[in-house]
């Protein structure tokens, strides 16, 4: 029998080594899932999934060169640039999301970094959506400390800013923003008192060791993100990464499982790429500790399973949407030692 899981002294500021994170990835698949599922059950009801909706409030025209992104102005992807939506138009979408069962409403804008006047307009949207009784989240690019404070004052609960990939692979994907720039924005968000949403993208041609490096970097932040979105690359014609070899489905599940073990009380979210995932693959991800999804037919500019398909999957798996109050847990810093350090496989009877 696998060893009983006991609390350990691993904490933020004493993050497990990258070699230990890689050792988790290298565990036998069923053993890794067992450890991840055990950690998940210590901190969450495994039958509940937090449901969010993501709306692009300002689409396209981004000056950056992220190799995966169809919203970059320099790539011919067919995405037409659109101006910032009005608050009333955003509110209409938020009402629809709440009626469909979403508890969190996320607003995304294709900016490298917003101007102060843009932040004022988004702050108005945040206040209006918050008044509907929804949790609020935004992803607007790099923020100054002043801008983060303004969004916090408007009632923004979460700010998303992904690290995207491992520090040493980052320069292969993005040249218009440094890895440190991302860390700086996250620091501004934490200083303002907002919760952080920080994850990455897998399937961009990175190695397993680099996937371990991404999760090691996220888990090594001053505090664990409240939400950790794990995106599977959506290949869009016209972007430099179109045609990249797809990540093995089991490797994707491994990434979910390791994220759950490293960040026990964070919401681990299935984000981009769900449209092409089978129900069976998503079920494995939930078993591995994923407990959050984006709901709706569109995720910014790429497809996402529609609400009816998700509702049918929840029924088949016996899952239910998480209530808002249940998502307000502060992530713990504790990590389990014996799930990080692979034990020798016990001998089995012949």
Q: Which of 150, 70, 85 is nearest to 115 (CA)?
A: 150
Residue found under tokens 């919203």: 71
What distance in Å separates the CA atoms of residue 284 and residue 219, rounded to the nearest whole number?
22
What distance in Å separates the CA atoms of residue 227 and residue 224, rounded to the nearest whole number?
8
Ramachandran area for residue 281 (φ above 0: left; ψ -120 to 50: alpha; else beta): alpha
What distance in Å separates the CA atoms of residue 187 and residue 206, rounded to the nearest whole number?
26
Cα dihedral 104/276/231/192 (nearest 10): -20
What distance in Å separates the CA atoms of residue 100 and residue 134, rounded to the nearest whole number?
12
pLDDT at 99 over 80: yes
**345 falls in which pLDDT band (50, 70, 90)?**
very low
Is the CB of residue 103 less than 8 Å from the CB of residue 50?
A: yes
The pLDDT of 279-307, averaged and rounded, is: 76
> What pLDDT sits at residue 296?
55
Q: Of the spans 5-9, 174-178, 302-306, which averages the highest pLDDT? A: 174-178
The pLDDT of 13-18, averaged and rounded, is: 78
> What pLDDT sits at residue 350?
34
Is the CB of residue 140 less than 8 Å from the CB of residue 117?
A: no
> What pLDDT sits at residue 286?
97
- What are the backbone angles phi and psi of residue 146, rounded to the nearest 5°? -60, -40
DSSP readout, 237-258?
Answer: TTSTTTTPPPPPHHHHHHHHHH
> What pLDDT sits at residue 329?
40
Residues with Cβ within 8 Å of residue 185, at least 6 apart in sequence: 141, 142, 143, 148, 161
List, for residues 50-91, the tens digit of each pLDDT value: 988 889 999 988 989 899 999 888 888 888 888 999 999 999
Q: In the chain, what percentage of residues exceed pLDDT 90?
A: 70
**308 falls in which pLDDT band (50, 70, 90)?**
confident
Give 337: exposed, middle or buried? Use CB within 10 Å, 0-12, 13-18, 19+: middle
> What pLDDT sits at residue 303?
44
Average pLDDT for the chain: 86
List, for residues 123-159, the tens digit of each pLDDT value: 999 999 999 999 999 999 999 999 999 999 999 999 9
What distance in Å separates the CA atoms of residue 212 and residue 297, rounded to the nearest whole number?
30
| C-alpha R_g of the chain | 19
What distance in Å separates the CA atoms of residue 169 and residue 216, rounded to the nearest whole number?
13
Q: How many residues does the chain have?
A: 350
Q: Which residue would you say has higher pLDDT here, 315 or 323?
A: 315
Active-site annotation, residues: 62, 66, 69, 106, 137, 197, 269
Distances (CA, A) of 112 to 65, 117, 309: 10, 15, 34
CA angle 216, 103, 121 (to 5 degrees): 85
- Where would I find the beta strands (DSSP E) of the chain? 48-58, 104-109, 135-139, 158-160, 195-197, 200-202, 227-232, 267-270, 292-295, 298-299, 302-303, 320-321
Is the CB of residue 228 less than 8 Å from the CB of residue 198?
A: yes
The pLDDT of 314-336, averaged and rounded, is: 65
What's the predicted TM-score (pTM) here?
Answer: 0.86
> What pLDDT sits at residue 305?
56
Residue found under tokens 């790099």: 142
101 SS3 class: coil
81 SS3 class: coil
């Amino acid at each position: 029998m696998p060893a009983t899981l006991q609390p350990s002294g691993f904490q933020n500021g004493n993050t497990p080594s990258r070699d230990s994170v890689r050792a988790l990835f290298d565990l036998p698949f069923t053993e890794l899932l067992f450890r991840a599922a055990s950690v998940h059950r210590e901190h969450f009801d495994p039958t509940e999934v937090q449901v969010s909706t993501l709306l692009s409030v300002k689409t396209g025209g981004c000056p950056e060169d992220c190799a995966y992104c169809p919203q970059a102005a320099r790539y011919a992807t067919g995405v037409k640039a659109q101006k910032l939506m009005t608050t009333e138009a955003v509110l209409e979408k938020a009402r629809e999301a709440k009626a469909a069962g979403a508890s969190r409403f996320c607003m995304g804008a294709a900016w490298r970094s917003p101007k102060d006047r843009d932040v004022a307009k988004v702050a108005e949207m945040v206040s209006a959506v918050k008044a509907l009784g929804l949790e609020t989240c935004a992803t607007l690019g790099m923020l100054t400390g002043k801008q983060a404070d303004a969004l916090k004052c408007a009632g923004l609960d979460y700010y998303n800013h992904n690290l995207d990939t491992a520090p040493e692979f980052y320069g292969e994907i993005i040249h218009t923003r440094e890895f440190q720039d991302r860390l700086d924005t996250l620091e501004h968000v934490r200083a303002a008192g907002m919760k952080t949403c920080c994850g990455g993208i897998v399937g961009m041609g990175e190695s397993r060791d680099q996937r371990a490096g991404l999760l090691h970097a996220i888990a090594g932040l001053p505090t664990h993100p409240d939400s950790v979105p794990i995106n599977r690359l959506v290949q869009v014609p016209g972007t430099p990464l179109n045609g990249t070899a797809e990540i093995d489905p089991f490797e994707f599940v491994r990434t979910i499982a390791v994220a759950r073990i490293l960040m026990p009380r964070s919401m681990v979210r299935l984000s981009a790429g769900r449209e092409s995932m089978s129900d069976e693959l998503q079920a494995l991800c939930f078993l591995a500790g994923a407990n959050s999804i984006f709901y709706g037919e569109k995720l910014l500019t790429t497809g996402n399973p529609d609400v009816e398909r998700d509702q049918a999957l929840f029924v088949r798996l016996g899952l239910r949407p998480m209530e808002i109050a249940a998502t307000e847990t502060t992530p713990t810093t504790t990590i389990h030692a014996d799930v990080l350090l692979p034990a020798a496989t016990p001998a089995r009877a012949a």
